């Protein structure tokens, strides 16, 4: 098992996962990405929804989630 920062849990497959409601889901892939953020539309499998969350949280915290156009940066720093 490999834990990734701000990403899924990677497990060497095949795997069998028992969900909260008792259902069992299986994957025969060589490496399986389990969702750790619970935003995946294909939960418990990762669909990379964590990437959108990570970029949004960085912008809120003043980080560099996405680059701004140079005209926007100039207006913000001139004020």
Task: Give the residue, 69 or 39, on which the prediction is more confident.
Answer: 39
Strand stretches in 1-79, DSSP E: 2-3, 9-12, 15-18, 24-27, 31-34
pLDDT exceeds 90 at position 71: no
| Tens digits of residue pLDDT in 17-67 | 999 999 999 999 999 999 988 888 988 999 988 887 555 555 665 655 444
pTM for the model: 0.58
Q: CA–CA separation, 26 vs 17, rounded Å?
A: 6
| Tens digits of residue pLDDT in 2-12 | 888 888 999 99
Decide: 45 and 33 in contact? Cβ < 8 Å. Answer: yes
24: which strand partners?
18
Most distant CA pair in the chain: distance in Å? 57
Q: How many Cβ atoms are within 10 Å of 33's Cβ, its own excluded?
A: 21
């Amino acid at each position: 098992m490999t834990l990734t920062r701000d990403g899924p849990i990677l497990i060497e497959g095949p795997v069998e996962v028992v969900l909260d409601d008792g259902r069992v889901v299986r994957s025969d892939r060589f490496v399986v990405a389990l969702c750790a953020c619970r935003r995946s539309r294909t939960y418990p499998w990762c669909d990379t929804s964590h990437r959108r969350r990570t970029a949004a949280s960085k912008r809120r915290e003043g980080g560099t989630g996405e680059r701004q156009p140079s005209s926007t940066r100039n207006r913000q720093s001139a004020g």
